[in-house]
Amino acid sequence: MEEVLIIDFGGQYNQLIARRVRDLHVYCEVVPYKKVDKYLEKKEPKGIIFTGGPNSVYVEDAPKIDKKIYDLGVPILGLCYGMQRMALDLGGRVERSKSREFGKTTTRFDRSCPLFEGVEDSITWMSHQDLVTDLPQGFEKVSSTDATENTAIANKEKNLYGVQFHPEVNHTEKGQDILKNFLYKICKLEGSWTMEKYAKTAIQAIRDQVGQGKVLLALSGGVDSSVCAKLLEKAIGDQLTCIFVDHGLMRKNEGDQVEAAFKDSKLHFIRVNAEDRFLKKLDGVTDPEKKRKIIGEEFIRVFEEEGRKIGSVDYLAQGTIYPDVIESGSGDAAVIKSHHNVGGLPEVVDFKGLVEPLRQLFKDEVRELGQELGLADYLVWRQPFPGPGLGIRVMGEITKEKLDILRDADAIYREEIAKAGLDKSINQYFAVLTNNRTVGVMGDYRTYDYTLALRAVKTTDFMTADWAKIPYEVLEKASSRIVGEVDHINRIVYDITSKPPATIEWE
Ligand code: XMP
């Protein structure tokens, strides 16, 4: 398999670089600079990218790399710090300039250089203070700006390239073309990474790992665990048991939809209807953190109890995905992605190991794989839903009555968003049942009922988010339908705070 090594020097865009490379259908792995030797013992990448990193190659403990990497005969592209690292390592000079070059910059390219073939002069994104002032032997300048003489350098004979800007960010207009040139023209890759191919290799890898063993998976109905289940089912069929803990805090009909998606498959599907247990534990609890803790702990207890009933289990499967692996900073240590955000693994039984078949995939690749495997659209395109479910969307005390009110209202809201064609452009949208009651009038009667809040956000990383500017007509329709169709709601408000300062969820 064609593979590119991305050496992580600690830059802020490392995941983004990997995403861009994958978008060009090339498999890549992000490896921390300290672990490159270990990686190279096992693998032979067809290309190497150095990421950006700290301010300067001269800061104390600036990340370094064994210089033998330049003699491997593998093409290298250094980005920002990566270019400075390369220049310094190979005998060039890197100096601190008086001012920092930051932001969008018009950049000129030498189109006779394979890296810039067909790339028009255009805007790039700069963020640096150090400059490469003297080029190492064998290098030439292949790009410049008004402020920076050597914006890109190349040693075509040795296939070593460096750019001072960040081709991976959207602000660099021709960034993807430049990366494409590197991968396709310089590394001579074909771009053969597809989910169809991945599914085949992953299925074989699961069979090799598991043999005749029994595998247990906690299925939440979220994208990752659902795709994981489908993939495992194709690989090992009835050796797989999935436990779906229905905590009674799911959205309208959601539990049944998850069951419907899996009940006819070869795998053993166990749905545990644990609503009563959860509601009993949550009785009278109003503090958000306490609610989360109770729900998380109870989930583990239920999962453990069911697991023990199955008897011997050899492997525990998890839907860990690549961003979790990169964020752990380790690249190879086992990342424990806890079910429903509870620390640690459930102590079901002694098991031999973990099966994590999505460890190398980004979220959109997981969705693509899900489609490839024929998973229901509903599960593939499901928006994120917190582990504690509606437990953190019912403010104050949680009761079955309040949950049912919220379920009905939320279903109408989601239906109207979908009808308006906004469901794919808004990243998360849901209703929240506040603990506030106000006076209203219905027909000739006075009402004293709940206020419902509608929330919708646009975000890519869910760490920051903008409130979505939904057309008034859509809000109006959702509002009048909810008040008309759901008892005990007489007022609707729309949440117009972004994150920060608010969070996406209300609790
Ligand atoms: P906040 O509210 O922190 O949410 O802005 C960010 C994203 O995380 C989701 N979320 C959770 N997901 N378990 C989860 O699996 C949780 O306990 C949890 N809490 C929040 C939230 O829905 C949003 O997508």
The 10s digit of each residue's pLDDT in 413-455 is 999 999 999 998 999 999 999 999 999 998 889 999 999 999 9
Structure tokens at 133: 């002032």
Q: What is the pLDDT of residue 350?
A: 62
What residue owns the CA closest to ligand 1's atom 18? 386
**Which span out of 58-62, 191-195, 375-379, 414-418 was modeled with the highest average pLDDT?**
414-418
- Ligand 1 centre to CA of 15 (Å) is 20
pLDDT at position 256 over 60? yes
CB-based burial label for 144 (10 Å; 0-12, 13-18, 19+): middle
What residue owns the CA closest to ligand 1's atom 22? 386
Distance CA 93, CA 88 (A): 6
Read off the pLDDT band of 340 (50, 70, 90). very low
Sign of CA dihedral 359, 364, 368, 373: positive
Catalytic residues: 80, 166, 168
- Ligand 1 centre to CA of 386 (Å) is 5
Query: Which pTM does this prediction carry?
Result: 0.78
Letter for the amino acid at 64? K
More confident of the two residues 139 and 305: 139
Closest CA to 178 of 132, 113, 131, 87: 113
The torsion angles phi and psi of 291, rounded to 5 degrees, stand at: -60, -50
pLDDT at position 250 over 80? yes
Whether 316 contacts 215, CB under 8 Å: yes
Q: What residues flank ligand 1, with Cβ below 6 Å?
A: 292, 341, 384, 386-388, 428, 462, 499, 503-505
DSSP state of 257: H
- Ligand 1 centre to CA of 505 (Å) is 7
Q: What is the pLDDT of residue 185?
A: 98
- Ligand 1 centre to CA of 385 (Å) is 7
CB-based burial label for 502 (10 Å; 0-12, 13-18, 19+): middle
Mutation to probe ligand 1, out of 295, 340, 363, 504 (largest number of atoms < 8 A from CB): 504
Structure tokens at 83: 């270019």
Closest CA to 480 of 416, 402, 401: 416
Read off the pLDDT band of 348 (50, 70, 90). low
Distance CA 348, CA 305 (A): 7
DSSP state of 390: G
The torsion angles phi and psi of 102, rounded to 5 degrees, stand at: -140, 130
